[in-house]
Amino acid sequence: MATLDTPLTRVVGAKTAKSLADHLELVTVRDLLYHFPRRYDERGQFTDIASLAVGDQVTVLAKVLHGNVRPMRNRGGELLEVVVGDGTGATLTLTFFAKRGRTKGFENQLRVGRWGLFAGKVTEYKRVRQLNRPDFLLLDDAAAAEEGLDEFAGAIIPVYPAAEKVPTWVIGRAVRVALDTLEGPADPLPAALRADRRLVDLGTALRAIHRPESRDSLHAARRRLKWDEAFAVQVALVQRKLRAASWPARPRPRREGGLLDAFDRGLPYTLTGGQFEVGERIAADLATAHPMHRLLQGEVGSGKTLCAVRAMLQVVDSGGQAALLAPTEVLAAQHYRSIGELLGPLGRAGELDSTVDATRVALVTGSLGAAARRNALSEVAGGDAGIVIGTHALLYEGVDFADLGLVVIDEQHRFGVEQRDALRTKAEQPPHVLVMTATPIPRTVAMTVYGDLEVSTLTELPAGRSPIATHVVPAVEKPAYLERAWRRLREEVAAGHQAYVVCPRIGGDDAAEDAPGEGRAVAVLDVAPLLESGPLQGLRLGVLHGRLPADEKDAVMRAFAGGELDVLVATTVVEVGVDIPNATGMVILDADRFGVSQLHQLRGRVGRGQAPGLCLLVTESAVDTPARERLAAVAGTLDGFRLAELDLEQRREGDVLGATQSGRRSQLRLLSLLRDRDLIAEARTAAITLVSEDVELEHHPELRTLVENLVGEDRAEYLEKG
């Protein structure tokens, strides 16, 4: 008998095991049984041949309609063309090449009226879709039944994610052997939980998902296995949250009459209700003896940076330091300038116009000159700089803090184990952590990816923020609209404002991949000279992209911020954090190549001052395509949370936690953040109850194993990174 951890070589034989390992990375019985079917076909219900796309590696259930053999003059030999159909009227042609007279064997097998599973890559020849020399399994083949494939003759036929060398029926055969030799696995879910949620046991679920007797048994199996996935993730998150809550941290209570009070008195506007409420929660977190771990999300321009500055000042008032980590040097420099302007004399300690309690703001990046770097590091080490801004290089490159009390991480750049350990070396005790993101996060994503953080949301926009109008510009159908777009940009500049032109690629030796069949995306280095000599001739253009040296990036941003440039032609380096109130216009070229949330982020760079913003989404995608629908949705609403939900609906979810960080296989297969919201919420509640009583799962060893297998150390680290 076999267990889930038995190597496949001992169950299905060396040859099959090698194929499964080499082509599908399936090594143990667990790997194989958690390689769930992609879909299920039914006799009497037909595969949708009409939906097949060229390039797809597919397996179809179809019936032989007719065949034809003809000579191949150029190549010699014969070509057998067999047309199969699924009963809907849609057909697919199977082609087999052989020496003259050798196609007879295929003809004899593929007789009219026979049903089979046909696997191969979809190609197209003279507008006819076909599979060239496909693998096939005839469902009424007695030999197939003898090999243990009689499950294909049943009502529900599993179709597995397969490889060219390992078709679905080979996987099905291996699964059957594994199930026949499998001992009843220990169930990781507590019996009380299974009874309360009416879940079938694990052994029953694994058998039913591969060999369902009915749609009801399949539904019960999927529900149980989804529960395993959701519960494992939530248990891991709750464990992390409770462990972090037990760490010691130095309290940083608010001090009356300090920098924060002076800062609040000097604000030229009143905090929104949301900013005040979030500020109070953060202030309370900072005053506790355990490290804060809070995610602050909010719409573009909702005032997250202001909340972060107030938190940093509270820590400085308590004698500590705060570090703000940005994902790029461009954004770090932008924060340095904007926070310096916000603080004014409060951030210029030692200078003539500074206030009594003033601190200093230091910028530490990899591109600083030697003298500037020495000066900045001295201010940080001596404690003169209460606020330190930089990239993740702050954690490593010889940066020593006098008393690091708070780390603010901008734009979802969360920490893994390595970064967390680096932070600990910078402080006597773990610092408080505030994560900020302007990408609205749907509730289930917040529960599943950020479930170890307390979540605060800013929904109001501060008074004075201007509306942004967004329009789709169909460049192919209506070229006059594109001409008008460039005129509108000139009009914005003529009115005294500035604008962005955003491209998907840098250009030059840029090795960015383009989507198959979609042509080459437009690039900054190609577009800028064309605009300068064409529709934007006479305007002052600047170029910004990720390959520029850091000092050049900073110089370009300073020139744009100072009004020395009219138009900035850039890649998505301007996507987050760039705050130029005078910028009112944006043209996004090849807009269909960007995601919904990314477009919303880019759009948020305009309309940040008193004048309204304009965002034009230029596309060559055809009407009624998903790409155009996506752009229309962005143009139709400024609600980032609604767009985040739409983004989730339109993306292929795949692994619920995103890309695997270390190469280890994730076994999260079934859970859908969109469709399984209620289940995830139930799993969260159940995980809190169980883990609160047994943080290390000492009384639930099988559950501990489930968490290790489905989440694992690298996955847990990914949960921390976001």
- 442-462 residue pLDDT tens: 767 777 767 778 888 887 776
C-alpha torsion angle, residues 558, 564, 566, 568 (rounded to 10): -30
User: What gap in Å lies between CA 166 and CA 210, rounded to an integer?
Assistant: 17
Concatenating the DSSP letter of every residue in 384-441 gives -EEEEEE-GGGGTSS---SSEEEEEEETT----HHHHHHHHHHSSSPPEEEEEESS--
Distance CA 565, CA 555 (A): 11
**Under the phi-then-psi rule, with left for phi > 0, alpha for psi from -120 to 50, and beta for the rest, what region is 152?**
alpha
Q: Which amino acid does the sequence have at 223?
A: R
In this prediction, residue 519 carries a pLDDT of 59
Q: Find the mean pLDDT for residues 143-158.
A: 53
Question: Is 24 strand, coil or helix?
Answer: helix
* pLDDT bucket at 424, cuts 50 / 70 / 90: low
**28-42, 180-194, 604-618, 668-682: which range is least confident on average?**
668-682
pLDDT digits (tens, 9 = 90+) for 106-138: 777 888 888 888 888 889 888 889 998 888 888
Q: Give residue 661's pLDDT.
A: 32
Per-residue confidence (pLDDT) for residue 660, from 0 to 100? 33
Residue 460: both structure tokens together = 């109001």
For 488-509, what is each residue's pLDDT tens digit?
A: 999 999 999 999 999 999 987 6
Q: What is the dihedral of CA 276, 281, 282, 285, to 10 degrees?
A: 160
The per-residue DSSP string of 268-330 comes to SSPPPHHHHHHHHHHHHHHTSSS--EEEEEE-TTSSHHHHHHHHHHHHHHTT-EEEEE-SSHH
Residues 688/238, Cβ–Cβ less than 8 Å:
yes
Closest C-alpha to 412, from 575, 281, 295? 295
Inter-residue contact 504 to 519 (CB < 8 Å): no
Of 37-41, 89-93, 461-465, which gets the smallest average pLDDT?
Answer: 461-465
Residue 547 has pLDDT above 60, yes or no: yes
Decide if pLDDT at 80 tops 70.
yes
Structural domains for the chain = 259-458 (3.40.50.300), 468-637 (3.40.50.300)
pLDDT at residue 520, as a whole number: 73
For residue 174, what pLDDT is reported?
95
pLDDT at 686 over 50: yes
pLDDT at site 435: 87
Average pLDDT over every residue of 304-324: 95
Angstrom distances, CA of residue 441 to CA of 41, 212, 597, 722 = 35, 36, 10, 12
Which pLDDT value is given to residue 517? 41
Alpha carbon distance 472, 478 (integer Å): 11
State how beta strands 567-570 and 498-502 pair. Answer: parallel
The confidence band for 45, taking pLDDT boundaries of 50, 70 and 90, is low
The pLDDT, as a whole number, for residue 718 is 43
Question: In this model, does residue 662 exceed pLDDT 90?
Answer: no
Whole-number pLDDT of residue 577: 63
Confidence of residue 721 (pLDDT cuts 50, 70, 90): very low
- Reported as a pLDDT band with limits 50, 70 and 90, residue 418 is low
Q: Is the pLDDT of residue 156 over 90?
A: no
Token pair of 1, please?
A: 């008998």
Task: Look at residue 417 and tell me whether its pLDDT is greater than 90.
Answer: no
Q: Is the pLDDT of residue 337 over 80?
A: yes
How far does the chain reach from its first CA to its final CA, in angstroms? 40
Closest Cα partner for 524 from 595, 597, 589? 589
Using CA atoms, how far apart are residues 475 and 479, in angstroms rounded to an integer? Answer: 5
What pLDDT is attached to residue 717?
A: 46
Average pLDDT of the chain, as a whole number: 84
Q: Is the pLDDT of residue 666 over 50?
A: no
The proportion of the chain whose per-residue pLDDT surpasses 70, expressed as a percent, equals: 86
By mean pLDDT, which of 236-240, 504-508, 595-599, 653-657 is the weakest?
653-657
**Strand 293-298, strand 156-159: pairing:** unpaired
Tokens matching residue 216: 């009801």
Q: What is the pLDDT of residue 719?
A: 44
